[in-house]
Amino acid sequence: MSRLQAEWLKNLEQNIAAYEQDLLEKTGLDFPGIAATANGISRDVICKMAHTSGIAVVPVTAGKGEIGGFAESVAAILSQAGFRTRVMPQTDVDGLYSAYTAPDIDFVFLADDDTYVGLDLNCRRISENSRATARGFVTVLEAMCPEGLPGKEVLVMGCGKVGTYATEALLERGALPVLFDKTAAAKTLGERLGLPLCSGREEIKRYSYLIDATNEGDWMTPDLLHENAIIVAPGVPLSFTEAAFATHGDRLVHDLLHIGTLTMIGELCQ
């Protein structure tokens, strides 16, 4: 998980309803629908759990310190999905203890510099964000593809944690992943899973379906993209230049926290 920056999150709460509407128009899935579909369960299950469950988000100050707006953003996403959610006034272990002992809290969400998790206090279950984010964005890509993913080549750009999990999720859906990374990570993953590699940036435009899990930002120009490319981008910051966003933004889904967080609560509701 890339460490987020406070300035990236400053408008998330104000724009959350508009983001859900955009997601619905592009995928046919609203927030409860994402949570459900990414985990193979009914949307009704999510809605029922939302009406009966309480969620606490615990700010964490360990390591490099609390990310301003992170806890509030997570709470806003879960609230938009219908859950009764609050940010704990206490932080770190004290916050987790307070959430655990509160009679109306069923789930806890918290993150440090390395790991973002959701905890089910009743069933002793855990959901980890990197894996959930990958599964969620593959679900979104599948929803955006008119004929589904089986048999389709999908270029996975960036073969870190999220890219690796996304590749595995694509294989489970019968897709044909092709790997790209500026480091040796693509070669290593390709050898392990028996998958082909994209040899360079100039080859990206060959692919109509892309998962961008890179973390450089502002490098992908329109000339690198297939004219009808459908792109989901869990990587932060966003790779698209302004020009690329202008030409392909209507076929792009990118966010900082939403889809991963929704997939996490869906996993905990199973």
Location of each CATH 3.40.50.720 domain in the chain: 132-254
Distance, CA of 37 to chain centre = 14
Residue 232's DSSP bridge partners are 211, 253
The pLDDT score that the predictor gives to residue 2 is 61
Give me the CATH topology for the region 132-254.
Rossmann fold (3.40.50)
The helix-helix angle for 258-268 and 16-27 (nearest 10°) equals 80
Place of tokens 């790997």: 179
DSSP secondary structure code for residue 251 in this structure: G
Would the CA dihedral through 151, 176, 165, 224 be positive or negative?
negative
Distance, CA of 268 to chain centre = 15
237: cis peptide before it, omega within 30°? yes
Confidence at 69, pLDDT banded by 50, 70, 90: confident
Assess contact for 200 and 150: CB atoms under 8 A: no
Q: What CATH number should be reported for the domain whose range is 6-129+258-268? A: 3.40.50.12150
- What number of residues does the chain have? 270
At 101-153, the pLDDT tens digits run 999 999 999 999 899 999 999 999 999 999 999 999 999 999 999 899 999 99
At 160-184, the pLDDT tens digits run 999 999 999 999 999 999 999 999 9
> Token pair of 237, please?
């910051």
Overall average pLDDT of the 41-60 stretch: 97
Location of each CATH 3.40.50.12150 domain in the chain: 6-129+258-268
